[in-house]
Structure 1
Amino acid sequence: MTPDALAALHARCFTTPRPWNAPEFADFLGSRFCFLLTEPAGFLLGRVIADEAELLTVAVDPAARRQGMGARLLTGFATAARARGATTAFLEVAAGNAPAQALYRQAGWVETGRRRGYYHAPDGTAEDALLLGCDLSRG
């Protein structure tokens, strides 16, 4: 997927946090630490630095949700992160994004913290970010 295609799909999936634009995706893809996993209607962007992985974003087209694509991307993330030497992983998710939280928890992620008022919606309201972690050393 090109940075333009990633940005277009991201915009269909997010308003809060705001969707990323093509130059932002190009910057991530240009980093030796980042990796991209794709599905026909979705993608996951991650990065590994030292032994820690970060799930930067995952997007599945709203019309293609609830078909296992997000779970496949998460499994792929764990595999790719381990192959790059990561033993732990973290992500942040909007506190109001119950479907994403359910997906992550089903994959073994646990809440490790909260960033109060971290995300800002287009209407000016703030939303907390939940920090989730995952132990990748368990195979």
Structure 2
Amino acid sequence: MTELAVGDVAPPFDLPASGGRSVSSAGLKGRPFLLYFYPKADTSGCTVQALGMEEALPELGTLGLEVIGISPDPMNAIEKFARKHSLTFPLASDAEKQAAAAYGTWVEKSMYGRKYMGMERSSFLVDREGRIAAIWRKVKPAEHARQVMEAASRL
């Protein structure tokens, strides 16, 4: 798969999400949205990132932006994470890693010399036409909500 670039059509997705919801590109047609891929529910970095997004939701909502978090975790872990931190935006389970593969976020990683496959913390801002408006790779969790707000305000 070639790496996605700004201006590309966002790959389609259809995933189960927290709160008994489902999220799909078809269901978001005509609305801007942010897909943020995170490695594992309820870990320190993922919690910081999710809480930052939750705090930014009122402002992002005024911009008409939907926020969706995606991890490879099973739904039970995602539901527990969402409840524990009172997260109101959908957190989706990509257990089959199909969305991650389409967006190029399921990558080879390395820790202490050991190589393994895992989710790269990356985000994609998609405009009303379904095209990628911004891409962030190797996101820093504490800074991300601010970056998204700045980019979304320019849509």
TM over 0.5: no
What's the TM-score once normalised by structure 1's chain length?
0.30
Larger relative contact order (Cα-Cα within 8 Å, sequence gap ≥ 6): 2
